[in-house]
């Protein structure tokens, strides 16, 4: 990309598609602007006032013209709408196939990044090419927005909830990470780099950082440290429900509703256990952990609880599986 390019680097499967749509919009936009400018200049010159006494005849309008210039732009806009919506749904719906899950916590004014295998980084994100990466976003404080211009993607980071989006990197290199939602004094310093690597270099990088505990292991430690384990006995029903095979499955609540135990549910059940009580259990048994555990710890606990449902596969098998089916979604 030259210094005068109007496009940032394209480094994800999405980038080219967004640029194509943007190109279409540019063509339509420039065409429309040229049309209006042409007629404004043409009429202004052709019908300029030649004598102060001119009294042009009134023209009150034309229904066919009004219909034409309402309907044609509307049809063009329908194309923009349909194309933009399709791409948006595609870009914001994580693929079902095996994703690499990465957890990002925004905090005034840094990005903390955790990998399932336990690597942790600040303001640096490493991802392999050719494999869908699902990013789960959490905030310790205010709104942030995780913006990857080279991937043409961003998503707000909203305190009190998890937001997710996904991408598949295509081109090795180092690209900007920006915070795009104003978050206070050093908003403009809440920046970092995403390093895209080919799968082999990525595995090398991963193993160089290995040796610590994985997120699930860290979560298990927290689970013991906070005494969760004394009530949530794993393989039998105690004072509290067992958490074995809970994640991703329906949970029946005492008020008769059934909810799916996803990240948001687990998070809420830790911070504010009385919000949803599992059928057959009592209110006020579990202490409220609001303000006790930071967002990174919560993510570790969630990954741990996830691991109680999905026995983790070996990482190498995952990469091979993903490499085998690289069809675009």
Partner 1 sequence: MSTTLSHPPTEERPNYLNVDYGWKSWLLTTDHKRIALLYLFSITAFFFVGGAFAVGMRLNLLTPKGLFAHDTYNKLFTMHGIIMVFFFLVPSIPATLGNFLVPPMVGARDLAFPRINLLSWYIYIVGGIFAITAIVRGGVDTGWTFYAPFSSTYSNTHVILAAIGVFVSGFSSILTGLNFIVTVHKMRAPGMTWSRLPLFVWAHYATSLIQVLGTPVIAITIVLLGMERVLHAGIFDPALGGDPILFQHLFWFYSHPAVYIMILPGMGVISEIVACFSRKSIFGYGFVAFSSVAIAVLGFLVWGHHLFVAGQSMYASMVFSFISFLVAVPSAIKVFNWTATMYRGSVSYDTPMLYAFGFIGLFTIGGLTGLFLATMAVDVHVTDTYFVIAHFHYVMVGGMVMAYLGGIHFWFPKITGRLYPEGWAKFAALVVFVGFNLTFFPQFVLGYLGMPRRYAAYADEFQILNVMSTAGASILGVGYLIPMIYLAWAWRYGPKSPQNPWGAKGLEWEQSPTPPPTFNFDVPPVMNEPAYNYSGEEKEVEIGR
- List binders of partner 1 among 123-152 (CB under 8 A): 141-143, 145, 147, 149-150, 152
User: For partner 1, which stretch binds (CB under 8 A), given 65-73, 125-133, 194-202, 293-301?
Assistant: 65-73
- What residues form DSSP beta bridges with 166? 134
**With respect to partner 1, which residue has the nearer C-beta, 194 or 322?**
194
CB 144 within 8 Å of CB 178:
no
- List binders of partner 1 among 187-216 (CB under 8 A): 187-189, 191
- List binders of partner 1 among 247-306 (CB under 8 A): 290-291
**What are the residue ranges of helices labelled H in 93-231?**
199-209, 215-225, 228-231
36 binds partner 1 (CB under 8 A): yes
Helix 295-307 × helix 263-271 angle, to 10°: 120
Which residue is it, tokens 């936009």? 29
**With respect to partner 1, which residue has the nearer C-beta, 163 or 201?**
163
| Of the candidate residues 101, 117, 168, 181, the single one contacting partner 1 (CB under 8 A) | 181
The minimum distance between CB 88 and partner 1, in angstroms, equals 4
- List binders of partner 1 among 43-62 (CB under 8 A): 43-44, 47-50, 54-62
The separation between CA 203 and the C-alpha centre of its own chain, rounded to angstroms, equals 24
CB 145 within 8 Å of CB 180:
yes
The minimum distance between CB 41 and partner 1, in angstroms, equals 9
User: For partner 1, which stretch binds (CB under 8 A), given 78-86, 113-121, 127-135, 280-288?
Assistant: 78-86
CA distance 286 to 71: 61
| Of the candidate residues 104, 153, 277, 303, the single one contacting partner 1 (CB under 8 A) | 153
Report residue 155 as tokens.
Answer: 């998503």
Task: Name the phi and psi angles at 210, rounded to 5.
Answer: -75, 175
Sign of CA dihedral 222, 126, 122, 12: negative
């Amino acid at each position: 990309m030259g210094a005068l390019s109007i496009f940032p680097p394209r480094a994800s499967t999405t980038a080219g598609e967004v640029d194509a749509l943007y190109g279409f919009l540019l063509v339509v936009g420039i065409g429309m602007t040229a049309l209006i400018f042409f007629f404004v200049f043409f009429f202004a010159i052709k019908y300029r006032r030649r004598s102060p006494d001119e009294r042009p005849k009134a023209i009150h309008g034309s229904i066919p013209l009004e219909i034409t210039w309402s309907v044609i732009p509307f049809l063009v806009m329908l194309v923009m709408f349909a194309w933009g919506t399709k791409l948006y749904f595609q870009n914001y719906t994580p693929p079902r196939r095996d994703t690499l899950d990465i957890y990002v916590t925004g905090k005034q004014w840094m990005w903390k990044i955790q990998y399932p295998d336990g690597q942790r980084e600040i303001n640096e994100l490493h991802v392999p090419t050719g494999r869908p990466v699902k990013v789960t976003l959490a905030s310790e404080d205010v709104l942030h927005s995780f913006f990857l211009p080279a991937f043409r993607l961003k998503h707000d980071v909203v305190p009190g909830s998890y937001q997710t989006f996904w991408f598949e990197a295509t081109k090795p290199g180092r690209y900007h990470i920006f915070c795009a939602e104003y978050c206070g004094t050093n908003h403009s310093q809440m920046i970092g780099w995403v390093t895209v690597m080919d799968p082999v270099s990525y595995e090398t990088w991963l193993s160089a950082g290995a040796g610590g505990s994985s997120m699930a292991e860290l979560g298990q430690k927290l689970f013991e440290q906070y005494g969760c384990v004394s009530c949530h006995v794993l393989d039998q029903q105690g004072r509290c429900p067992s958490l074995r095979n809970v994640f991703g499955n329906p949970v029946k609540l005492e008020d008769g509703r059934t909810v799916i135990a996803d990240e948001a549910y687990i998070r809420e059940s830790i911070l504010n256990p009385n919000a949803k009580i599992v059928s057959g259990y009592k209110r006020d048994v579990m202490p409220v952990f609001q303000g006790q555990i930071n967002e990174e710890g919560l993510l570790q606990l969630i990954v741990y609880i996830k691991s109680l449902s999905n026995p983790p596969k070996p990482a190498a098998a995952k990469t091979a599986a993903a490499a085998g089916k690289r069809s675009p979604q």
